[in-house]
Structure 1
Amino acid sequence: MMKIGDLAKITGLTTATIRFYESKGLLKSVGRKANGYREYPPEAISVLSIIINAQQTGFTLDEIKHVLPSDSIDWKHDDLVASLQKKLGEIETMEARLAQNKAHLLSLMGLIDSKPPEMACKDNAARIIDELKVPARKKLRVGDTDA
Structure 2
Amino acid sequence: MRIGELAKISGLAPSRIRFYEASGLIKSVGRKANGYRDYAPDTEWVLEIITGAQAAGFSLEEIRQLLPMNANGWRHEELLSGLKRKVEEIEVLQQRLALNKAQLLLVIEGVESKPEGMGCVDNTQLLLHRLREEGVAVAPRGRDIASSK
TM-score, length of structure 1 as denominator length? 0.84
Alignment RMSD, CA only?
1.6
Which residue in 2 is equivalent to 1:64?
A: 63
Unaligned runs of 5+ in 1: 138-147
| 1:63 Cα offset (Å) | 0.2
Tell me if 1:42 matches 2:41: yes
Which residue in 2 is equivalent to 1:144?
A: none
Unaligned runs of 5+ in 2: 139-149
Matches within 5 A, 1:1-147: 2-116=1-115, 118-119=116-117, 123=119, 125-134=120-129, 136=137
Q: In the aligned structure 1, how far is the partner of 2:18 from the partner of 2:29?
A: 10
Structure 1 stretches of at least 4 aligned residues deviating more than 6 Å after TM superposition: none
Q: In the aligned structure 2, how far is the partner of 1:9 from the partner of 1:23?
A: 20
Q: In the aligned structure 2, how far is the partner of 1:133 from the partner of 1:9?
A: 55
Distance 1:113 1:132, change over 3 A: closer
Q: In the aligned structure 2, how far is the partner of 1:33 from the partner of 1:133?
A: 67
Say whether the 8 Å CA contact 2:7–2:14 is kept in structure 1: yes
Distance 1:133 1:108, change over 3 A: closer
| 1:130 Cα offset (Å) | 1.2
Which residue in 1 is equivalent to 2:141?
A: none
Deviations 1:86-142 (A, max 9, x none): 0000000000000000000011011111123x426xx1x2123213554649xxxxx
Corresponding letter in the other structure for 1:10:
I
TM-score, length of structure 2 as denominator length? 0.83
Q: Secondary structure at the match of 1:75?
A: coil
Which residue in 2 is equivalent to 1:140?
A: none
Q: In the aligned structure 2, how far is the partner of 1:13 from the partner of 1:64?
A: 17
Identity %: 48
Alignment length (residue pairs): 132
| 1:34 Cα offset (Å) | 1.0
| 1:64 Cα offset (Å) | 0.3
Deviations 1:19-53 (A, max 9, x none): 00000100013311111111111110011011011
Q: In the aligned structure 2, how far is the partner of 1:29 from the partner of 1:10?
A: 16
